[in-house]
Every structure is written in structure tokens, then in C-alpha cells.
Structure 1
Amino acid sequence: MLREPEKFSRWEWHPLHTLAALATLGRIFMPSAQTLNAVWPGALPGLPPILSYPCATTVPPVPGEPAEATRLRTRMADAVVAKGWAPSLRVQSALREVPRHRFVPEAPLETAYDDDLAVLTARDSSGTALSSVSAPWLQADMIESLQLEPGAVVYEAGSGGYNAELLAHVTGPTGQVVTGDIDPYVVHRTRRFTAEAGSGRVTAFQGDAALGAPDRLVPRGGFDGSVITYNVWDIAPAWREQLAERGRLVLPLEVGGYPRAITFRRAGDVLHAERFTHCGFIRAQGEHARAVPAVDLLGGELRLRFEDGAPAPTEGLEEALRGPRHEVATGVRMGSGFYFGSLQLYAATTLPGFCRLSSHREEGTGVTLIAEDCDAPSILGDASLAYLVHVQTRHGDSPADKEWEWTVHAFGEQGPQLAEQLAATVRTWDRHVRDGEDPDLTIHPAGTPDRLLPTGDTVDRPCSRMVFQWPGRDVLLQDDVEPGGTPAAALEGT
């Protein structure tokens, strides 16, 4: 009910889609405009920032909450530190002091402060996740990788608030964080939460983060560090161009559909990888969004995903899959809990015709041994296919007693040749990469001539050229392939 109608000279009714133009013309009282934008985030873009006093983290929240939140936050920080993800005192301090639960009010305290859980904060109408606050251990690891100094100015793509406040805490009273997101709802949340429980050193903007920060927010000389918090398939030129020379960029890069949080350091127009971390993030929206080409087989029992390009021809493949299966044991074994993520990445970057084969039938009921809703590294030939699975070769009561062997299964006339090629790749990985060595990776602008690229396996994207130099890769080319192009491993059994 309107309590003071005499204070209004007239009423005007406008469709929601016309409000933005009215606000631009100054025909809406600014506090009213801010209120409308709070109810419908994004309805009035471009409003000036809201002036507010950030609340200190010592402001008492809901009665009965502080002690429990403090206890859980301490437990979370202790767990992250104990696992080695936060070796520096400034990152440790940020984990202990920034109130994570204030940035995920939809989650119970126990969930908000679980060191191993991400919290989803936005979904679309189909239920697909659009935004989240990542697991604390991963946020700590990526922030550590930036190696920020006090007073640094940092860019974050993919907002949420909590990670930005961790960055603000790490950079200290003279630091600044610029964070952007394409979703007005997410930006509205970020502005609200950082005002209520933040440092006052975070600036949030709405826009496609793949285009970088608005020019007015980019410091002279570029950002000291940048972090991308969603899976990317390509490297946006703006991320390199807005980064200071020798500054670090940390992002989750998908290669073959396998994401890795990779730390890069800028040297001119080239980004040099420094370290890799296994990770998982929400996929990109906006300019970097892309649909992964896929082909269903056998009535949907199987699906081929072509993560790095257009789908290859599959004519005759279904007939081959109904035929006999060829098997090749690689001789490469692993125990329980062994991390084999480098094998996935190695196969995706070194094998021509690489794709991923997923199964949608219960294990043991279909033509493959792939578990339901899981997938396997694969290579595709002419009406032929080979894929990699691990088969248990030793059983036992304890994990230490169990063992698996990598085995290649293949179908089609070219199946045996493809199987040997894939098996040779696994054996080379076992000899040179298995113990944990990451590849030397450099990112070059699209259009860089081949003669200016280092020797290695090149993966091309619309905006960049990625060159992977794996340990022992030159040995594979010399020792595992005969002059005619046939893998040497294929000749051993003939």
C-alpha cells in the first residue's frame, strides 16, 4: 500500500523491456532504478555502482551461527593445508578468514565448508549447472599458482564472489580484484555478497569474460595475474593481451575433453605452461560456448564424442561393432588409486583420429566393457574403432592387493592395426610419462607460422595454437614407428 500518494505527481506504466532506455535517459529515479535491477537483475544494465559500506567479517550474522561457522571454516582450512594445497601463509589466512558460507547462502554450513565440494549456485531451465563456487582445495591451488604479491591487481573470469574475496585477501589492503560474468544474476549476487561480507576491493562487471575486462578496469601495464573459473577450449586473446609481461594466467583448459587447471606465464605473445592440476569446472558460455559434436551408435548404446573437431565419418562402423572383437594386452599395469590422467591427455594430443567412446548400457550387457555413463579414449579408422579399457588382473581383499592392466579392444577390418597403434602409445606413456612428468606446453596466437613453433604435437584452435612437447615423444617417433608408418609394436606379433 502506498502510504504517501500525495508525493507523486503522476504515474507511468512501461513494459519491462523499455526500462533500460528510460534509465539511460535519466527518467527513472536512481534509487528506484537500483531497486528494479535488484528485483530483475540485468533489466537495467549500465547503472552506476551502488555506494555501500562493506561489512567486516566480524559483524555478527544469524544468532547461533558464528561459532559453528568459525569451527567449520577452521576445519576446512586445516584440511586444505594438510593436503598441501595452500602452502603460503597468505592463502592459509584467506581460507581461515573469508566467510565462505556468506557467498553460498543456499547451502547448509556443513556443505559450504566441505573442503572437497563445489556448490552449485545457478542452473538453467533444463537443470544444467550455470554457475558454482568451486571446491576450496582447487581454489587454493589456483590462487597459489598465481604467486601474487601484496598490492597485485587481479582479473577473474567467471564470478561468484568467494574466490574474488580470497584473491582480495591475498593481495592485501592495496590490492584490487576485477571479476566478470556473463550472467546478470551471478553479477548481482557477487556485488551483494562482496558488499555484505567483503573487503571493498572487488569490482564486479557484467559481460562476456572471454572478451576480457572493460578498458577502464585494466591497470596500466596489465593485470598481475588472471584466473579463469570455467572450462575453456581456447585461449581468448584478451586474456594474454591484458596480462602483464611475466604475469601468470591460470585456467581450466580442455584438450580432448579432459580439463586441466594449467598455470601459464606470459613472455611476449607466447604463454608458457608451468604446472598442471586435475580439475573440473562448468563449461563456458558466451563467445567460448560450443556444442561438442557426437554420433550415436547402436540405437544409443554407444556415443562417439569428437571433443576437438568435426565428427569423422562413421559409415559401416555399426556393422563392425556387431562383428568380432580384437583384443591387445598392453602389459602396462596399475594398482588401486593410481592417477592416470596424463595418459588421457597424452593420447588426446598425440593420436590422430582421437575421440571418446561412451557407453549407455549397464556394464556386461553391451558390446564393450565400458561402464555405464563412462567413456574410453578411442581412435577411429575406416569403419573401424579401437578403444582403451582397464581389466582387473589381480583381486584381493584390500586395495593394495588389486591390480588392473590396460587393454585395447578393437572392431572392424582396421581394428588390429588401430589396436596396436593405441597399445604402442600406452607403452610409450608408461616408459616416459607415467611417473608424473607434465609436457612442455606453449600457447601461440592463431596464425603463427609453423616455422616459428617449437617441435611437438600441435593442437589448433580458432584463437590459438597449442604445442605439446611430451617426454620421450621423439623416442616414440623413432623407435615405435617403422619407416612405412606401421607401429613397431604391430610388427612384434607378426
Structure 2
Amino acid sequence: MISKGWAPSPRVQAALREVPRHRFVPETRLDRAYHDDLAVVTVRQSPQTALSSVSAAWLQADMIKQLRLEPKTTVLEVGSGGYNPELLAHVLSERGRVVTVDVDPYVVHRTRRLCAEAGSGRVTAVLGDGGLGAPGQVPVDGFAGIVITHNASDIAPAWREQLAEGARLVVPLEMGGYTRSLTLVRRGDVLHCEHWTYCGFVRDRGAAARTAPAVRLADGKVTVRWEDGTPGDTTGLEEALRGPRHEHSTGLIVQGAFNFETLQIYAATTLAGFCRLSASEGSTLVAQQDAAAILANGSLAYLTYRKNKDATNPADRTTEFFIDAYGPAAKEVAERFAQCVRVWDREVRESGYPPMTVHPASTPDNQLPPGDVLDKPSARLVLQWPGRSPVDALSLSTAEGQRA
């Protein structure tokens, strides 16, 4: 963990050495308990669906590091497990305190038992909906940090309200269905993003939990879903999927291993009509089982890629990005998506994630800074992507409003 750079803080390093991780994951073997890149599932709904887990150690260390905690303060964790709050308690030192909240009585009972058996005595496990924070446990000046350990589809107002001024909220937020752990600093009613980490967690089970609207097409072989916003009009798509597929190159050819995680968020927050597309394995209609897509004018376009040069050495292989599209406006919709990829390649690819602020949902448009707006039920996210003019962002906002 330390040699890979995930725990540069001496206090985080000490916590990793001192807290016996295997005591908090009795469900698994010792070697898996101490694997730096594996989460341990502790509660399952089914063999395929996890309800609760102890996250991968590298991710826990990274999120704790991002909180920048001071000793002797009080921190809130939403989503219990036992091991993570004990790491936090060690970072906070003997006079520090951790409040951890979970909606599942079994998880809370498990956390209390394990913390009593192998903990510091400075963790308080509370049964409740984490979307409400921890009423009755909030320090006079607010929590010195809040960490959310489940995928969140929204920024709960209680998290901002219970956070101390200048403190940090670390939350795995879904944007277009893609999850990034965001480090958000409170400045009044606005949260300012200062760090992004690629990640994934179990989903929220509280009152704010959301099931994405979806439409199944082609006898259930293709599913279109909208992780943010309202569903689009799928009229004509059944017929379109029975027609020819239009293949459109973006012109983007990459060599070797290639990271396009910012492209996912860029497309989700700048393309009007954005949605996600999934298909059964081996589908002849859609080349990928999960893809970023857009829907417009009875037509559907999605992002895919294909090897155009194979090689024994992976570094010598090349891959080309394509847009596949169906429908009467396939060429136009495909070109719009392709243009998004080109702009990302030219303006964003080397610059990383953009500045972003999170505002209360009641904030009117004229009080928001310039940028692309992604609306959540309780928050308005404003992303300032390079190469995007105010006119570009306004066009997206107008299109989204018309769609809604």
C-alpha cells in the first residue's frame, strides 16, 4: 500500500499497520483480507448482488487521505463495515471520534460487535438512513469530515449542512452512471471539488436510492437506460434496430494501454440525449455489453472501439474508436458523438478532470458559474471543461430542458 503511493500520510500508514483488517472481515481468508485491490463482500442479496462490503484497502486509504483530518476531531462515515471507521479513529488519535451510520440493522450490529472485539472504543455505530447524516451526533461546528462508502446518485443536503466550514466530503458520486470518488470542500452553501478518483461501490439503500428508468428493445436483447434526468423518446427505435447499422470512425486511434475515464464523464455531462446502452453477450446489434450512447430523432448512437492492429507486445497494439448508430438520423447523430470524442481528445484528454462546483438544487441559473450543468434531485453540478464555451453549455442546458 505504502510502496504504491496510496498512503503518503504517516498517520494513515500507522493506521494501516495497527488496525487488524482480518478481524473485521471474518467472512474471508487471510490472504484475501490483506489483498490491497480486493473488496470483501459481507452481505449479499444474491450470488450476483452485494449489499454491503469492506472496500479495497487502497481505496479506503485514498479516501481517508483526501479528508485531510486533524487529530481529536469527529468524523461521520455513511455506510458501515467496521474496518474503515477504525482506520479513521486511529488517524484521529485517542481523543478523536467516528460516527458511522447504516440503514441495515444487521450491518450495524456486525459493526458494533467487531469494533467491540478488535476496535479502539472510539467508533459509534448508529442505525439510520445515511442520507440524513447523523442528527443528534453532529458537533457544534459540524463534522470535521464526512466520507460516504456507497455509490450515491445525489448529494444529500444533510451532508453539506452537517459538514464544518472548510471541511471535506468524500463521496462516490454517479454521473451518467459512472462513479467517481469526489473530494468536495465546503465553502458556505457551495461544495468545491478538489480531487477525483475512479472507483465503484455498492449502491445506496436509503430513501434516496434510485432505480434508473430503462426501456428494453429488440425482444429484450438491448436495454436503454437513463442514469440522470428523464427518459428520452424511444419511438421508432424498435424499427431502427431492425435496419442497417451505420459505422462512423471518430478518427481517434490509440496505441497500447489507454485510459479514457474522463471521456465517460465528458460525454455524460456535455451531450444532450445521453443515455447508457446494454446488450446481452454476443449480441449482433450492439458490439459492447455496456456503452455510452445518445438518443435523438428516433435514432441511437453508441461509442465502441475495435483493434486495428494486433501484436504480441500489448504496447504495440492499436485501437480505433467508432460510433455505431441506427435510425433515420444515424449519420447526423453519429457525427455529433464523434465530434464530442474529437473535442475530448484535443482539449480534455491530457488535462484530466475539470473544476467543478456543487450547488443547492434551488440555485437559479443566473447564480451559477459558467459551465455544463448536471442536475440532481438535491444538487446542481457545474463542470468547467476546457474547450467548452458558455454557448456550448447553454445549448446542452436548453436541449435537456426541452427533453425534460
TM-score (norm 1): 0.78
Segments of 4+ moved more than 3 angstroms: 475-478
Instruction: Report the Cα distance in structure 2 between the residues aligned to 1:330 and 1:174, rounded to whole angstroms.
Output: 57
SS for the counterpart of 1:421 is helix
Name the counterpart of 1:459.
374
Are the aligned partners of 1:293 and 1:309 in contact in 2 as well (CA < 8 Å)? no
State which drifts further: 412-421 or 430-439.
Answer: 430-439
Report how far residue 316 of structure 1 moved.
Answer: 1.3
SS for the counterpart of 2:219 is helix
Name the counterpart of 1:296.
216
Name the counterpart of 1:187.
108
Name the counterpart of 1:432.
347
Cα-to-partner distance string for 1:56-86 (whole Å, 9 max, x where unaligned) = xxxxxxxxxxxxxxxxxxxxxxxx1122111
Name the counterpart of 1:129.
50
Cα-to-partner distance string for 1:168-225 (whole Å, 9 max, x where unaligned) = 011111111010000010000111111110111111100001101022x111100111
One-letter code of the match for 2:121?
A: G
**2:256 is matched with which residue: 336, 351, 354?**
336
SS for the counterpart of 1:272 is strand
Instruction: Report the Cα distance in structure 1 between the residues aligned to 2:351 and 2:9, rounded to whole angstroms.
Output: 23
Instruction: Give the unaligned 5+ runs of structure 2.
Output: 400-404
User: Does 2:302 correspond to 1:387?
Assistant: yes
Are the aligned partners of 2:192 and 2:357 in contact in 1 as well (CA < 8 Å)? yes
Instruction: Report the Cα distance in structure 2 between the residues aligned to 1:112 and 1:125, rounded to whole angstroms.
Output: 21
One-letter code of the match for 1:384?
A: S
Report how far residue 254 of structure 1 moved.
Answer: 0.1
Instruction: Report the Cα distance in structure 1 between the residues aligned to 2:192 and 2:376, rounded to whole angstroms.
Output: 17
Instruction: Report the Cα distance in structure 2 between the residues aligned to 1:126 and 1:311, rounded to whole angstroms.
Output: 30
Name the counterpart of 2:232.
312
**1:411 is matched with which residue: 326, 329, 338?**
326
- The alpha-carbon distance between structure 1 residues 357 and 127, as it changes in their structure 2 partners (threshold 3 A), is closer
User: Does 2:124 correspond to 1:203?
Assistant: yes
Are the aligned partners of 1:156 and 1:180 in contact in 2 as well (CA < 8 Å)? yes
- The alpha-carbon distance between structure 1 residues 286 and 454, as it changes in their structure 2 partners (threshold 3 A), is same
Report how far residue 436 of structure 1 moved.
Answer: 4.3
One-letter code of the match for 2:198?
A: H
- The alpha-carbon distance between structure 1 residues 476 and 334, as it changes in their structure 2 partners (threshold 3 A), is farther
One-letter code of the match for 1:106?
A: E
State which drifts further: 460-469 or 134-143.
Answer: 460-469
Name the counterpart of 2:287.
369
SS for the counterpart of 1:265 is strand
Report how far residue 337 of structure 1 moved.
Answer: 2.5
SS for the counterpart of 2:229 is coil
Instruction: Give the unaligned 5+ runs of structure 1.
Output: 1-79, 486-494
What are the equivalent positions in structure 2 for 1:216-255 lying under 5 Å apart? Answer: 217-255=137-175
Cα-to-partner distance string for 1:133-173 (whole Å, 9 max, x where unaligned) = 00000000000000111112110000001000000011111
User: Does 2:12 correspond to 1:91?
Assistant: yes
Instruction: Report the Cα distance in structure 1 between the residues aligned to 2:112 and 2:281, rounded to whole angstroms.
Output: 45
Name the counterpart of 2:402.
none
SS for the counterpart of 1:205 is strand
Q: CA RMSD in A?
A: 1.6
Name the counterpart of 1:70.
none
Report how far residue 291 of structure 1 moved.
Answer: 1.0
SS for the counterpart of 2:109 is helix
Name the counterpart of 1:171.
92
Instruction: Report the Cα distance in structure 1 between the residues aligned to 2:351 and 2:5, rounded to whole angstroms.
Output: 17
- The alpha-carbon distance between structure 1 residues 169 and 210, as it changes in their structure 2 partners (threshold 3 A), is same
SS for the counterpart of 1:177 is strand
One-letter code of the match for 1:282?
A: V
Instruction: Report the Cα distance in structure 1 between the residues aligned to 2:174 and 2:246, rounded to whole angstroms.
Output: 31
Instruction: Report the Cα distance in structure 2 between the residues aligned to 1:390 and 1:440, rounded to whole angstroms.
Output: 28
Q: Point out which structure has higher relative CO (alpha carbons under 8 A, 6+ apart).
A: 2
Name the counterpart of 1:278.
198
Name the counterpart of 1:120.
41
**2:185 is matched with which residue: 230, 252, 265?**
265
Instruction: Report the Cα distance in structure 2 between the residues aligned to 1:472 and 1:84, rounded to whole angstroms.
Output: 32
Report how far residue 298 of structure 1 moved.
Answer: 0.9
Are the aligned partners of 1:437 and 1:471 in contact in 2 as well (CA < 8 Å)? no
Report how far residue 127 of structure 1 moved.
Answer: 5.4
One-letter code of the match for 1:82?
A: S
SS for the counterpart of 2:2 is helix
One-letter code of the match for 1:407?
A: F
SS for the counterpart of 1:400 is helix
Are the aligned partners of 2:257 and 2:315 in contact in 1 as well (CA < 8 Å)? no
Report how far residue 369 of structure 1 moved.
Answer: 1.8
Are the aligned partners of 1:233 and 1:254 in contact in 2 as well (CA < 8 Å)? yes
TM-score (norm 2): 0.95
SS for the counterpart of 2:277 is strand
One-letter code of the match for 2:219?
A: G
Instruction: Report the Cα distance in structure 2 between the residues aligned to 1:323 and 1:125, rounded to whole angstroms.
Output: 38
Are the aligned partners of 1:342 and 1:436 in contact in 2 as well (CA < 8 Å)? no
Instruction: Report the Cα distance in structure 1 between the residues aligned to 2:372 and 2:305, rounded to whole angstroms.
Output: 26
Give the structure with the larger strand fraction.
2
Name the counterpart of 2:61.
140
State which drifts further: 248-257 or 86-95.
Answer: 86-95
Are the aligned partners of 1:231 and 1:282 in contact in 2 as well (CA < 8 Å)? yes
Report how far residue 325 of structure 1 moved.
Answer: 1.6
Are the aligned partners of 2:229 and 2:375 in contact in 1 as well (CA < 8 Å)? no
Identical-residue share of aligned pairs (%): 58
Report how far residue 303 of structure 1 moved.
Answer: 0.9
Instruction: Report the Cα distance in structure 2 between the residues aligned to 1:376 and 1:331, rounded to whole angstroms.
Output: 18
One-letter code of the match for 2:284?
A: G
SS for the counterpart of 1:425 is helix
Report how far residue 446 of structure 1 moved.
Answer: 1.1
One-letter code of the match for 2:150?
A: Y
Cα-to-partner distance string for 1:418-469 (whole Å, 9 max, x where unaligned) = 1111001001100111114211111111111111100111111111111111
